[in-house]
Amino acid sequence: MFGTNAAVGAEGTKKGPDRFVGLTFKEPKQTEFLKAVLQSMNLSYTVAATADGEFVEWASSDPAQELEIQNRVSQFWFIFTQCSSMRPPLPTQPARGSLSCQK
């Protein structure tokens, strides 16, 4: 009975983030692109220097959004490093469903 009452009472309150998500990159261009993606989505983040590079962390309550952010950064880095003939995506552009180099 307590579980039911607590669940009903919680529905009326504003839900905060379920968890915090973070990515670490050694390459500054990856870190800068991630921060630009987060800014374009109006998400606050923190940055901390680590032995492995820069760690960027943000609050998340949506697993689909987390995946979208990671996909945007991955696609940016793939194009930047592997597809010199392609223009890298903008941070505001949604991730593509599939990606191959256009030579």
Q: Specify the pTM.
A: 0.79
At 46-97, the pLDDT tens digits run: 999 999 999 999 998 899 999 999 999 999 999 999 998 889 999 999 998 8
Is residue 93, in this structure, part of any structural domain at all? Answer: no
Is residue 36 included in any domain, yes or no?
yes
Report yes or no on 49 lying in a domain: yes
The answer to the question of residue 1 being in a domain is no
Give CA separation, 20 vs 9, 31, 46, 56, 91, in Å: 24, 17, 11, 10, 21
Instruction: Select the more confidently predicted residue: 33 or 4.
Output: 33
What element of type H or E holds 36?
Answer: helix 28-40
**Residue bearing tokens 């505001």:** 92
- 37 inside domain: yes
Whether 90 is in a domain gets the answer no
